[in-house]
């Protein structure tokens, strides 16, 4: 029974890994197919979104949240320029011209820096908030206990009195 179950489990794992790989390849192929038609966009995004890629590459562990935070803000800094490109002259020259402007990179990288800041600051803030709420809960419980003692005397603290 155990011998039969083990190969079945291995097959499922392989099928799952295989399925994910096929999807990734399909997505990459679609993106690769689009590259010739939107090369200016890709060039702009590639250079402006470097911090996001750096965040994605540098983060370890099962949960990767930094690239999402940094990426979101990074993208917020890039999107106005991307729209200018799309609604302006959508050429590679224009794209590189934009990249050569300090303001574009400053916005993109500045926003990603803010993203890092948010990502760094948020855990202590949440920790403080959780600590604050638990302290309040403990205080409320102790107050309730005190009220019970006032109402019922010290015997209420004894178990099964």
**Site stretch for other proteins (CB under 8 A), options 2-10, 25-33, 35-43, 136-144:** 136-144
Cβ-based nearer residue to other proteins, 76 or 99: 76
User: For residue 30, what are the CA distances in angstroms to 18, 27, 81, 91?
Assistant: 18, 5, 24, 21
Instruction: Tell me which of 45, 75, 104, 108 binds other proteins, using CB under 8 A.
Output: 75
User: Considering just the CA atoms, what is the radius of gyration of the chain in Å?
Assistant: 28
Evaluate whether 61 touches 106 at the Cβ level (below 8 Å): no
**Torsion sign across C-alpha atoms 25, 31, 35, 41:** negative
Give the count of residues interacting with other proteins (CB under 8 A).
46
**φ and ψ at 135, to 5 degrees?**
-60, -40
Residue 122 in contact with other proteins, rule: CB under 8 A: yes
Footprint of other proteins (CB under 8 A): 63, 65-66, 68-73, 75-76, 79-80, 83, 87, 115, 118-119, 122-127, 130-131, 134, 137-138, 141-142, 144-145, 148-153, 155-161
């Amino acid at each position: 029974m155990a011998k039969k179950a083990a190969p079945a489990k291995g097959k499922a794992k392989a099928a799952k890994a295989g399925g994910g790989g096929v999807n990734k390849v399909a997505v990459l192929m679609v993106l690769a197919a689009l590259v010739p038609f939107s090369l200016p966009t890709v060039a702009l995004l590639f250079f402006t979104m470097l911090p996001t890629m750096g965040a994605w590459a540098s983060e370890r562990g099962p949960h990767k949240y930094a690239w999402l935070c940094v990426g979101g803000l990074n993208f917020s800094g890039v999107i106005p320029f991307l729209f200018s490109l799309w609604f302006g002259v959508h050429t590679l020259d224009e794209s590189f011209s934009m990249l050569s402007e300090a303001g574009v990179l400053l916005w993109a990288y500045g926003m990603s820096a803010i993203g890092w800041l948010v990502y760094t600051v948020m855990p202590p803030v949440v920790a403080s908030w959780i600590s604050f709420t638990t302290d309040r809960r403990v205080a409320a419980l102790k107050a309730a206990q005190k009220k019970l003692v006032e109402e019922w005397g010290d015997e209420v603290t004894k178990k099964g009195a």
